[in-house]
Amino acid sequence: MVKAAAAAAVKKPRKKAAQAAGKERAKRPPTALPAALPDTLTDSLPDSLPDALPEEPAEAPAAGRPWFLYLIECADGSIYTGITTDVAARYAAHAGGKGARYTRAHPPARLLGWEAHPDRSTASKAEYRIKRLTAAAKRAYAAALPATRD
């Protein structure tokens, strides 16, 4: 009993000290940023910067790409549901052990199906709706979806 009281007494001052240090940090003024870049940085830039940059990025922005809801049957018979912009690449990641934590413990056996959605929001809502279904209902839903069958 005495040891517990002594231990509690030791912990309280540490907490108060941490709180005091946090308040001290909050009182400090922000560090000033330099008004201009040093000449050594600007000298290393090309004279015509727009010519040095590619006209278009290597990959188009994801805003216009559709999102896909996909269902995977795992080796133990369970069904994993997820969303992605590239079903083939995501399935390969799951199969290679680099996908979701669930599929690392339950390796995928086959892709049951997938469906396209216009944006991430609608794909996420569909994923939530599907994840609430029973396994039998998921299988029935997946039967109507396009998939690559092995």
Give dist(CA 38, CA 122) in Å, integer: 48
Please say whether the structural domain 65-143 has been given the CATH code 3.40.50.300.
no
Sketch the domain layout of the chain as residue ranges.
65-143
CA gap 30, 18 in Å, rounded: 20
* pLDDT tens digit sequence for 32-90: 544 554 454 445 444 544 444 334 434 444 567 899 999 999 999 999 999 999 999 99
* Two structure tokens written together for 22: 């946090």
Beta-bridge partner residues of 115: 69
- Per residue in 11-26, pLDDT (tens digit) is 555 666 656 666 665 5
Query: In angstroms, how far is CA 113 from the centroid of its own chain?
Result: 22
Tokens of 35: 């008004």
Give strand pairing partners of 68. 84, 116
Task: Judge whether 82 and 90 are in contact, CB under 8 Å.
Answer: yes
